Amino acid sequence: MVLFGQNPSQGTLLRGSQFLLGEPHRYVPAYTGSRPHAEELPVRLAHRVKELDQLPHNLSDMPSINKVKNWYAQSFEELIHFPPIRLPADIRAALLAPPVDPVSLPEAFPNPSLHYQYYSDDYGTPQTGLGIVSTPKNGKGANGNEKGGGNGQKMRIPMERRYYANMSHVKEWPPEVREYNRGFTKTLEAIKKRHDPTVTTVAQGVLEWKRSMNARNINLDVQHWLDRFYMSRIGIRFLIGQHIALNTLQPHPDYVGIICTRANVHDIVQEAIENARFVCEEHYSMFKGPPVQLICPKELHFAYVPGHLSHICFELLKNSLRAVVERFGPEADAFPPIRVVVVEGKEDITIKISDEGGGIARSAIPLIWTYMYTTMDGQNIDQDFADSDFRAPMAGFGYGLPLSRLYARYFGGDLRLISMDGFGTDVYIHLNRLSSSREPLP
């Protein structure tokens, strides 16, 4: 995506829209109707609609889950019925022509998260009493068959042909291309806005199900579905956000869409620290919250999506600040500092967040990665809440840790937690600095 978006033209943006939307008979001018070759977004949305309609334990019957399903179905309908572009013969020929210079994209490696996305080390072993059955880490089920969607996933068409295209030989694009790109971008913006409250609405649906079933915790199959659903959502929003940014934002030497090729880790983490401390001080009505010490090279840069890293660090820092304040009390004269250490390795950039908030009991460790598990009192979500994920009121709903881990794993990283009960907790954020992992499609 970085190679594709470095020097976008109306032609490459059109090719990008066809990657997301599908190619209507390869730009045949007389074509009318919906697209027979649906690509990334319609396929992903259709899978989510089908999944939302077939959830276990009558979860599909919950009003909030139906609301989300209708959002996905509406977005799917808008995409497959989006009017196709009609182009002059010479422009169609240019779009279909092979690149002047053959393109060789960097090799992509299997995403490590495909190895451990739903295994026993995520949610504990049967000895924990959670009734969790693990899947062997060779990716095979009990009968020895490969599980679909893993490292053996099939690519429908080589990526060089599906996304990256060299359009430098076309000097001037007709106005139809610009209008098509503008219209498709507006459609994507509307879809993105429609799905902003999806996380909180699904959370409300799970709460409705728990209350109707009088259940204390969610079932493991529901937990697995939430992991798959939210991982897919991250991917969908990343694709939409990237395409919108390429079409609307002014060129910047360090940005390709929403990807920052030189993301400054120190600045991103420092901003997350300030935001988390502000929320902590507001929540507990404190003049000054616990101090946070940041140890990080000020010139540490790598290619990443700053919004993802900011979200991860903010959620984890918020947890640490809360633990420290509740252990020592909001009226304490002094608090032990929370330490954030950032180190660059050969493969990863690792961020360690250490607090002295009392730690977590060993028996509760498997539960912290499950959705809707929290130690805070009072779970209630405003039915009319319509804000984005990054400002959603997730504190107290048990979404911070599992969602942060999904964001880390999306680009081949991970999130690990080690707790010393009675003292504090260390959380390790591993970020893939090589940026070479495939997308972990669920």
pLDDT of residue 252: 87
Burial 176-199 (b: 16+ CB within 10 A, else e): ebeebbeebbebbbebbebbbbbb
Radius of gyration for the chain, computed over Cα atoms and rounded to the nearest angstrom: 23
Q: Which helix (H) or strand (E) holds 2?
A: helix 2-5
CATH class of the 259-432 domain in this structure:
alpha beta
Give the model's pLDDT for residue 141: 41
In order, the DSSP letters of 18-63 are HHHHB-STTT-TT--SS-SSB-HHHHHHHHHHHHHHS-GGGGGGSH
Tokens standing for residue 285: 């009505």
The two structure tokens encoding residue 408: 């880390």
SS3 293: strand
269 close to 431: Cβ distance less than 8 angstroms: no
The pLDDT score that the predictor gives to residue 185 is 97
Helix H or strand E encompassing 341: strand 338-344
Q: Which residues pair with 352 in a beta bridge?
A: 341, 428
Top-tier CATH class for 2-25+35-107+174-255:
mainly alpha
Helix residue ranges per DSSP H, 134-264: 159-162, 175-194, 198-213, 220-248
Phi, psi of 395 (to 5 degrees): -60, 125
DSSP 8-state symbol, 105: P
Ramachandran bin of 278, using left for φ above 0, alpha for ψ from -120 to 50, beta for the remaining angles: alpha
The tens-digit pLDDT sequence of the chain (442 residues) is: 666 666 778 888 888 888 898 765 444 444 434 444 557 899 999 999 999 999 999 999 999 999 999 999 999 999 999 998 888 887 777 777 666 665 566 666 777 766 555 444 555 543 333 333 333 444 444 344 444 444 444 444 454 455 555 566 677 888 999 999 999 999 999 999 999 999 999 999 999 999 999 888 788 899 999 999 999 999 999 999 999 999 998 888 899 999 999 999 999 999 999 999 999 999 999 999 999 999 999 999 999 999 999 999 999 999 999 999 999 999 999 999 999 999 999 989 999 999 999 999 999 988 889 888 765 544 555 544 444 444 434 355 678 899 999 999 999 999 999 999 999 999 999 999 866 667 777 6
Residue tagged 């490590």 (tokens): 112
Quote the DSSP letter at residue 286. -
Could you tell me if 158 and 98 are in contact, meaning their C-beta atoms sit under 8 angstroms apart?
no
Q: Which long-range contacts (CB under 8 A, 24 or more apart) does 171-174 make?
A: 173/9, 173/10, 173/11, 173/14, 173/91, 174/87, 174/88, 174/91
At residue 307's C-alpha, the angle toward residues 302 and 309, to 5°, is 55
Kindly list the domain boundaries of the chain, sorted by start residue.
Answer: 2-25+35-107+174-255, 259-432
